[in-house]
């Protein structure tokens, strides 16, 4: 695990606490290295602090699917579709919708 990169991201988040990107990047860094509990915690905090940050929903849903929590993944995808639609983010809306539909196949 690249702890130097993780520490850099955490420092950036400390310097810019109102920017959701750094929490998002930290969560993805944990995902990349298989640190699922840490990633889940970061995604939960991100949704709590920045519920309109659209990219969170797709990647959090993917993590939940991988750890076999399909019901929560389904809920996250549904929330994400609503947030993406409200934000006018049609690209991410399509990605989330696709992931949601694949869950039921």
pLDDT at 2 (0 to 100):
78
pLDDT at 4 (0 to 100):
94
pLDDT at 21 (0 to 100):
98
Q: Rounded CA gap, 23 and 9, in Å?
A: 8
* Superfamily, domain 3-103: Tetratricopeptide repeat domain (1.25.40.10)
Q: 56-94: per-residue pLDDT in tens?
A: 999 999 999 999 999 999 999 999 999 999 999 999 999
Distance between the two ends of the chain, CA-based, in angstroms? Answer: 34
pLDDT at 105 (0 to 100):
79
Q: Please give the C-alpha separations between residue 33 and each of 28, 41, 101, in angstroms, as whole numbers.
A: 9, 15, 27
């Amino acid at each position: 695990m690249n702890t130097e990169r993780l520490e850099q991201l955490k420092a950036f988040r400390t310097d810019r606490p109102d920017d959701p990107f750094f929490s998002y990047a930290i969560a993805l860094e944990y995902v990349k290295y298989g640190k699922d509990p840490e990633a889940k915690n970061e995604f939960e905090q991100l949704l709590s602090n920045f519920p309109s940050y659209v990219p969170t929903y797709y990647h959090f849903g993917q993590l939940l699917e991988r750890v076999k929590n399909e019901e929560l993944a389904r809920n996250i995808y549904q929330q994400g579709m609503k947030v993406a639609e409200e934000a006018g983010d049609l690209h991410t809306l399509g990605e989330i919708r696709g992931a949601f539909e694949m869950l039921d196949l």
